[in-house]
Amino acid sequence: QVQLVESGGGSVQAGGSLRLSCTVSENIKDILCVGWFRQAPGKERERVASINTRYGNPEYVDSVKGRFTISQDNAANTVYLQMDSLEPEDAAVYYCAAPVGWQAGVGWCPSSMNVYKVWGQGTQVTVSS
């Protein structure tokens, strides 16, 4: 089964930047989509961004638009999440995940978290004010 490994988390001050990496154990175009999710203490997990690894079409939750950028490096089988202008509200454990059963001809990624069945172990992001 495909495996996803996150890295790049850490502690920054508000206004700072971090880049998260999600390295996939197989060709990222074969898994069709990679989503970045986050979960803060006491809050539900939410999708932050996603990218269709064959067609692009990045999507973002409104709260990170203009600050976060999702991208991919096909040669490295890695999807990145560049996070700029970080705010204390961005502090959370960040996970990358891939869907199972998503159709190859669809140009976007699933919005339902239930479709994402393969998850990384998570990486902690701390933002101090």
CB 51 within 8 A of CB 109: yes
pLDDT level of residue 102 (50, 70, 90 thresholds):
confident
> Token pair for residue 16?
């700072």
Write down the pLDDT at residue 111: 87
pLDDT level of residue 37 (50, 70, 90 thresholds):
very high
Write down the pLDDT at residue 106: 81
The mean per-residue pLDDT over the stretch 43-60 comes to: 95
* pLDDT over 90 (residue 104): no
Q: What is the CA radius of gyration of the chain?
A: 14
What is the amino acid identity at position 12?
V
* pLDDT over 90 (residue 21): yes
Query: What is the DSSP pairing of strand 10-13 with strand 78-83?
Result: unpaired
Question: Residue 10, by phi and psi: left (phi above 0), alpha (psi -120 to 50) or beta?
Answer: left
Write down the pLDDT at residue 73: 97
CB 4 within 8 A of CB 121: no
The CA distance from 45 to 93, in Å, is 9
